[in-house]
Structure 1
């Protein structure tokens, strides 16, 4: 086993991990970041989920680096793609014209842009990235982590990493059990959190569904039907207990009233039925002046391939692998159903012109490198964010809940996808929210920080704090926290406890373009609740 060291060790190359790395490097410190796949960028890349964002995102309500990312994506298309004049002249071009987001784009473009943002520090050696490594063990002295051992997923080489701070930026909070951190999984009880939408009894295995996203284009007249998946007969007949329609159908649970179903179809039409192909479309050929692509490209992350028959957190290796395989089989079965049996509005069945685009996601099976993870292990934190802090129903006319220790902002609704045990789901309007520093601080371990979906939320509030710009903000603020603590030779907990340090740290965040409060003049009367499938990310 070899050894390596840096000021900060980041386990996980998620969006949060990438931004934590960038923040630490900007502060003049060295960082080693590991990533289990061969793509950094998490949600935007290896999980293939276009960003879903609030209505103010083009101007504020996120960090300056997130705005920079969005601008770089648009400029990438304008600099490299043969766009039409109208597309090139459009300051806010949406490459895919998907209706899930104001900016739907190819995962490989997101990967390139993130790597470009990190490149000065990668090239100088201040940031090192070890791809295809996952954490397998850790060492502790009292309440401090001394090292983490990571192992290559293919050749099984192990490396012991030492540092002053360790950030968990994995999608499932994989570092937490290795270091013995106190954490929560699944659903808390009403007694635990006081939340009206919590369960009466806690269930750590009642986690949100995962989705194995895949990419397709559509070539009219083509036939790209895949081989019938192994589990197709099961999924074709499967009817969830919360519906009277098969999962593989054009009917999904309504976001505003989860007791009702809503109808969709594949392609745009004149009958007023929403098109799911355009929902997460990431390349619209109408933006191009050359026949560069044979058809539009879309990422398939719908209610129909949400997998909720079992958890992958804190279960046996066999159970985890079974559920991961089943999630892949569900997605492939959805594709096969779409190609062969899906009812068309003209009375026919099947769209054989749907083609699995393996190249778009860089995999042999055409599925994303990782499933989309909506819910992680969550640290038991100094402060836990609950439904009472965000729900418009519970806050009433008091408006945005502000924190003295805020380190960022975000906005999204409480969007809980069907869970693995109770199969419950809901969509609850929220106020824009702030991100409190107290949710970053473990109740015991001193040099561990969360940098992904693993901060001190409940299962319910995780469902709004899990979105791209919020995770980005969490990672960036966590990186600056680690760097500030090292440079001032103090524990991160002291930053929150000492008003002088807290002010200096928040000023540091402001200096680097991290908005920590919403404008007092923000008009909340026009909060929009865009109509979506029950499959917002």
Structure 2
């Protein structure tokens, strides 16, 4: 069993020599005291070191490629590390068959090897809950091992943000307007001399500084320009967008969606008849808390009264402190007595137990109005000057980040000292003083303040894929492509206009589509499809419920009496096992850019399922393999889709075969238009 917070491998992995990128032909070094500029060549540039970015790097390294990987924080892994959500969201059926990409399985095995068990936290939300700091070390070691096994090269750039993109015309594009990324300019930051280490203050306090070229009193900068290998043209390298909010998408201003999509026959559970870019899913600053033998003294935050009206256990069947604490417990050195509440079994907390908190009516922060949304829209970016040359500052509202941080600190105080409950009324919330807030550089979150280094982001900018005959407005994965929703319910008959409802029934008709289109069968008489849509260009898989953390109706989110946006949970529910089509990773306008993670071409409702750990890994594995394949064959990603249809020898089929041969599934077992039996996949 490893030590409480850090393992020997972790100590080595977060040493200074690994925290600063090693340059080709140079020894690892610290950043210069004064601002400087470097030019770095690589086959594949991955912007964003979360799970999708790490998975892309893993496959590209195994393919022998030279990979540059940047990350705004100093940890790799996103959800499992820097965002603190180190509880693997998995569906029981997929987990029972261990039907995951090879790198994801490798990571799970390494967790089990590290702790001697897969679930060292004995949490009940997942089969595996663990310490975020350890996850960073384990994943970084996994990437280094992939580098050795594949004879690739990993150049790791922590504490680095993308600042500018240089685009040139693609001379080979079939239509005017196709561009290629010729270079990406980034900024790597380190503490200025005489100042505290990074992660001493929450993200909101340094984020804008991190995106400015100039050295400041707090940060020293190095400008890094990433370019293709020497002698190569822009089409001879691939850039992968793997950030948490779709930064490159916003910076390049290519077609994308943000927030709610308008009601349609493809998105029939939408909460709005018009697009609403301000209502994205809530974001969360996670933190760790530890059970103690003795009561602790808890100082009330100055801002507690502002946020206290929001907090709640939410439901009576969840209104139990021990249940909430053990929900995402990430460390449990001793098994407590078995208990049950609301039909859920768990072991009671014992002193020394550590829990990571991530609760909808707790530290979720859920803005949804133009005056407080976190991720700036295209119009807001323009108004803020962020689309002007050199103006990019990350595309987020800093004030909302700060409120999310305050909200999380206030939630801890509510857990231990609060006596109110916004949803369940008086007498429900009791005092629980025998807990402490865990902070420090050696603590699970690796920060002096105790919050995660970056908030857990559930939804960002989502590209609109390229137009195709069936998708004249650009490719998108919609709600109806994966949801188990009962669309014959009276709600849809009453809510949707008659023609929209008829088109919905036609969309769900599956193998009866031709009969309906020919007039031989009425849409309402057709047997409805009981599986997700099957894509001939699928390059990955995912399975999770359509899970919503809706924005709030009024501003600010913590306003007393505020409610969730009406209708947002209508789309929530079970989903069939689904696929990741290659088309969903290929943006419009830029030909050497691929998209991984939460920014692929999904709708607002579909994105609520396409966001969890194993999906992020699968999408990253798909994109990393695609990038390596494109470089090997000299075919750009959009050309893989366009060349020679879907025959056995077509590039897209060669790519799919490579993915499968490498242990990266592209379809669930028995996927076929003739198989409608998916009831067991829950």
Q: Does 1:266 align with 2:304?
A: no
* 3-state secondary structure, aligned to 1:251: coil
Report the equivalent of 2:545.
413
Q: Does 1:401 align with 2:533?
A: yes
1:62/1:408 contact within 8 Å kept: no
- Whole-Å separation in 2 of the counterparts to 1:495 and 1:101: 38
Give the superposition deviation at 1:94: 1.8
Report the equivalent of 1:249.
312
Q: How does 1:28-39 map to 2 (within 5 A)?
A: 28-39=64-75
Report the equivalent of 2:359.
302
Give the superposition deviation at 1:347: 8.7
Give the superposition deviation at 1:191: 4.8
- Whole-Å separation in 1 of the counterparts to 2:313 and 2:483: 30
- Whole-Å separation in 2 of the counterparts to 1:436 and 1:412: 17
Give the direction of change, closer, same or farther, for the CA distance of 1:94–1:467 in structure 2 (3 Å limit).
same
* 3-state secondary structure, aligned to 1:157: strand
Report the equivalent of 1:331.
408
Q: Does 1:66 align with 2:128?
A: no
* 3-state secondary structure, aligned to 2:161: strand
Q: Which of 425, 430, 435 is the equivalent residue of 1:354?
A: 435
* The 10-residue stretch of structure 1 (413-422 or 299-308) with the greater mean CA deviation from structure 2: 413-422
- Whole-Å separation in 2 of the counterparts to 1:366 and 1:299: 11
- Whole-Å separation in 2 of the counterparts to 1:509 and 1:493: 18
Q: Which of 302, 309, 320 is the equivalent residue of 2:397?
A: 320
1:311/1:420 contact within 8 Å kept: no
Report the equivalent of 2:248.
175
Query: Which ranges of structure 2 fall in alignment gaps of 5 or more residues?
Result: 1-36, 170-178, 189-209, 211-218, 229-236, 337-349, 385-392, 467-474, 488-507, 509-527, 554-563
* 3-state secondary structure, aligned to 1:416: coil
* 3-state secondary structure, aligned to 1:113: helix
1:277/1:298 contact within 8 Å kept: yes
Give the superposition deviation at 1:341: 2.4
Report the equivalent of 2:450.
366
Give the superposition deviation at 1:165: 0.9
- Whole-Å separation in 2 of the counterparts to 1:445 and 1:461: 24
Q: Deviations over 1:301-322 (max 9, x none)?
A: 0012111133221155797111
Q: Which of 492, 502, 516 is the equivalent residue of 2:666?
A: 516
Q: Which has the higher contact order (CA 8 A, sep 6+)?
A: 1
Report the equivalent of 2:333.
285
Q: How many residues align?
A: 486
Give the direction of change, closer, same or farther, for the CA distance of 1:155–1:420 in structure 2 (3 Å limit).
farther
Q: How does 1:71-470 map to 2 (within 5 A)?
A: 71-78=109-116, 93-120=118-145, 126-142=153-169, 143-152=179-188, 153=210, 154-163=219-228, 164-191=237-264, 194-225=267-298, 227-236=299-308, 238=309, 247-252=310-315, 263-267=318-322, 275-286=323-334, 294-303=351-360, 304-309=362-367, 310-314=372-376, 315=380, 320-342=397-419, 349-358=430-439, 359-382=443-466, 383-393=475-485, 394=487, 396-420=528-552, 423-424=565-566, 425-426=568-569, 427-470=572-615
2:184/2:227 contact within 8 Å kept: yes
Give the direction of change, closer, same or farther, for the CA distance of 1:46–1:431 in structure 2 (3 Å limit).
same
- Whole-Å separation in 2 of the counterparts to 1:162 and 1:29: 15
- Whole-Å separation in 1 of the counterparts to 2:397 and 2:302: 18
Q: Does 1:53 align with 2:90?
A: yes
* 3-state secondary structure, aligned to 2:221: coil
Give the superposition deviation at 1:64: 1.7
- Whole-Å separation in 1 of the counterparts to 2:434 and 2:448: 20
1:31/1:126 contact within 8 Å kept: yes
* 3-state secondary structure, aligned to 1:140: strand
Q: Deviations over 1:237-288 (max 9, x none)?
A: x3xxxxxxxx223335xxxxxxxx7542211xxxxxxx10110011122369
- Whole-Å separation in 1 of the counterparts to 2:429 and 2:611: 39
1:230/1:329 contact within 8 Å kept: no
Report the equivalent of 2:26.
none
1:8/1:166 contact within 8 Å kept: yes
* 3-state secondary structure, aligned to 1:453: helix
* 3-state secondary structure, aligned to 1:53: coil
- Whole-Å separation in 2 of the counterparts to 1:495 and 1:60: 30
Report the equivalent of 2:557.
none
Task: Normalising by structure 2, report the TM-score.
Answer: 0.68
Query: Which ranges of structure 1 fall in alignment gaps of 5 or more residues?
Result: 79-87, 239-246, 253-260, 268-274, 529-537
Q: Which of 14, 27, 49 is the equivalent residue of 2:50?
A: 14
RMSD (Å) for aligned C-alpha atoms: 2.4
**Structure index of larger Rg:** 2
- Whole-Å separation in 2 of the counterparts to 1:306 and 1:76: 30
- Whole-Å separation in 2 of the counterparts to 1:450 and 1:280: 30
Give the superposition deviation at 1:180: 3.0
- Whole-Å separation in 2 of the counterparts to 1:457 and 1:230: 40
Q: Does 1:2 align with 2:83?
A: no
* 3-state secondary structure, aligned to 2:109: helix
1:409/1:434 contact within 8 Å kept: yes
Give the superposition deviation at 1:224: 4.4
* 3-state secondary structure, aligned to 2:40: strand
1:172/1:375 contact within 8 Å kept: yes
Report the equivalent of 2:6.
none
Give the superposition deviation at 1:115: 1.1
Q: Deviations over 1:354-393 (max 9, x none)?
A: 1111211110111000111000111111321001100112
- Whole-Å separation in 2 of the counterparts to 1:110 and 1:381: 33
- Whole-Å separation in 2 of the counterparts to 1:122 and 1:69: 15
Give the superposition deviation at 1:31: 0.8
Give the superposition deviation at 1:60: 3.2
- Whole-Å separation in 1 of the counterparts to 2:267 and 2:542: 23
Give the superposition deviation at 1:234: 1.1
* 3-state secondary structure, aligned to 1:43: helix
